[in-house]
Amino acid sequence: MVLKVKVRLKYSQNHIVWLFRRGRGLTGLKNLGNTCYMNSIIQCLNNTAILVAYFCNGQYLEHVNRSHSTRGAIAEELAAVVRALWSGQYRFIATKDLRSEVGKHQRAFRGTEQQDSHEFLTILMDWLHLDLQFTIKPPHKESLGASELAWHEYTKSKESLVLRLFYGQIRSTVRCSVCRASSATYDSFSNLSLELPAHASRCTLADCLKLYLNDEMVPGWNCPNCKEKRDAAKKLDISRLPPVLVIHFKRFYVDPKEYMCNAYRKKQTYIDFPLEDLDMRQFSLQCPENQIYNLYAVSNHYGSMEGGHYTAYCKSSVYGKWYKFDDHLVTEIPASEVRSSAAYILFYSACSRS
């Protein structure tokens, strides 16, 4: 599977010149009534080079799956949007058909109320994976390790380019404090959702990753060895890193003082994250070549839970410059402005090392 991903990544880079001839990819998106959350995510995905090539050259048509509940319509509408954004014919476009299709399958995205870009991204990734599935030859289970076996059980030999690009895997290990026996389970993810250090006005991405992977005490765990409830330590490890690593910061939380009112507040913590050479080797169980990542897009959130606004910062694969996508407005920005306390979701792509 990894080799196929690398072939596709190389294939997409060969299409950058073709995309340049087709258009600049600097087209805005009209706000259709608090749809900035959707616009922000679409622009981030529209700067994922291999996904753009996949949609623009029509290869996705070979994989459209009509048996899923959305019958391939989400993927088709997103493909139409991506092709329009790269056509070079428009200053901005309206995504009415995509929004309508999304609303058919998720009521929250149907109206004009502001929604969460992270929730939209997570649901969209699952839809696209199911819409674009293809079947692969199942491996021999006897030859698979625990991580590979869990991955096979999750995919059930049905994969997609979206799965191969964006999905990774987490190993969760629970260890008994008395007999030291442990139990490991594996879960897939399309993005890593990280807590921020408490009461910190500034932190680093490494701080958030360490906090996510630190041991957590679990009281009353049913130890399979002791046959009794024991205190245990739960440890998370990244067992599979995807070629495109998406990281979400948990900025919104319920204020404990207003718990009964379910009042959400936002952490304005400034997070220092690298634009280039994010080294994930210290945070992962495996050590392949592609564990160094470069940032190419950010979904930003400004304001509060009650009244906020989403934008996107994206690095053009054609021009190598950063641009701000604020609904229908697209403007160039210096790289020094990419880091801010508004950063909500980061998009990193793996870079090869010779």
- What pLDDT, in 10s, does the model give residues 110-164? 888 889 999 999 999 999 999 999 998 888 887 888 999 999 999 988 999 999 9
Catalytic one of 36, 56, 208, 223: 36
Catalytic one of 15, 309, 328, 351: 309
pLDDT at 2: 32
CA 134 to mean position of chain CA atoms: 21
Kindly state the tokens that stand for 256: 């404990």
Kindly state the tokens that stand for 77: 């509408």
| Residue 299: closest CA among 156, 127, 119, 169 | 119
How many whole angstroms separate alpha carbon 327 and alpha carbon 100?
18
Count CB-CB contacts under 10 A for residue 288. 11
- Cβ–Cβ < 8 Å for 7, 64: no
pLDDT at 137: 87
| DSSP structure class, residue 274 | -
CATH topology of domain 28-135+147-350: Cathepsin B; Chain A (3.90.70)
**Buried b or exposed e, range 76-91, using 16+ CB within 10 angstroms:** bbbbebbbbbbeeeee
How many whole angstroms separate alpha carbon 138 and alpha carbon 4?
15
The residue ranges of the chain whose pLDDT is under 70 are 1-23, 256-262, 287-290, 352-354
How many whole angstroms separate alpha carbon 102 and alpha carbon 128?
11
pLDDT at 262: 64
| Residue 135: closest CA among 153, 155, 117, 149 | 155
Kindly state the tokens that stand for 32: 């259709």
In the chain, where the domains are located: 28-135+147-350
* Residue 261 a catalytic site member: no
Q: Can you state the percent helix, strand and coil of the chain, rounding each to 5?
A: 35, 30, 35
The pTM score is 0.92
* Residue 36 a catalytic site member: yes
How many whole angstroms separate alpha carbon 283 and alpha carbon 216?
16
Strand-pair category, 92-93 with 28-29: parallel
